[in-house]
């Protein structure tokens, strides 16, 4: 996926990102995002101190979503017109690697609404396993929603990484 990269948010990303989080189909799958979208909330999520742990997802030079690793958890969103193209799977893989390589944490946790089957598929591709059922509040939906906690252990992640073997060069 040469046409994908993770990068920091830029000020000129606001309109594109705010349009994505203005889509109810996107934010109904997230916990803390309001609907209708609030421009100040969007700016805060893009540029707050914790936002430094969130990456913009760029596809063919355009901002198409975000993926973040904050406090041992991971969250992501992708523009609906690009769902089903492997972008979330790629971005989650990149962020998981970044999170484990950049810390000593033992696991990464996330929560998925039970009606968000696409995210379940993305997480399972990376080795996340279901740990418990619970209810969490969806700000966009305005109610509690049945959800599942998923966890990826460092050991499971490390075991799934390709082994790179190089030739020893004579000195």
Q: Is the pLDDT of residue 70 over 80?
A: yes
Q: What percent of the chain has pLDDT over 90?
A: 88
Q: Is the pLDDT of residue 54 over 60?
A: yes
CATH architecture of the domain formed by 4-160: 3-Layer(aba) Sandwich (3.40)
Question: What are the structural domain ranges in the chain?
Answer: 4-160
Mean pLDDT of the chain: 94
Q: Is the pLDDT of residue 52 over 70?
A: yes
Q: What is the mean pLDDT of residues 125-152?
A: 97
Q: What is the mean pLDDT of residues 39-65?
A: 93
Q: What angle do CA 137, 142, 144 make, to 5 degrees?
A: 35
The pTM of this model reads: 0.92
Residue 51 half-sphere exposure, CB side, CA atoms within 13 Å?
16
Q: Is the pLDDT of residue 26 over 80?
A: yes
């Amino acid at each position: 996926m040469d046409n994908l990269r993770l990068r920091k948010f830029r000020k000129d990303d606001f309109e594109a990102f705010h349009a994505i989080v203005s889509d109810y189909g996107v934010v109904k799958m997230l916990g803390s995002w309001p609907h209708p979208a609030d421009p100040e909330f969007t700016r805060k999520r893009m540029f707050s101190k914790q936002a430094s742990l969130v990456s913009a997802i760029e596809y063919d030079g355009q901002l198409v979503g975000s993926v973040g690793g904050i406090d041992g958890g991971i969250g992501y969103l992708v523009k609906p017109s690009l769902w089903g193209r492997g972008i979330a799977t790629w971005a989650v893989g990149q962020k998981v690697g970044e999170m484990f390589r950049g810390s000593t944490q033992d696991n990464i946790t996330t929560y998925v609404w039970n009606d968000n089957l696409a995210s379940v598929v993305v997480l399972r591709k990376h080795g996340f396993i279901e740990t418990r059922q619970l209810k969490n509040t969806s700000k966009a939906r305005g109610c509690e929603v049945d959800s599942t906690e998923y966890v990826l252990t460092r050991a499971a992640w490390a075991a799934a990484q390709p082994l790179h073997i190089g030739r020893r060069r004579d000195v």
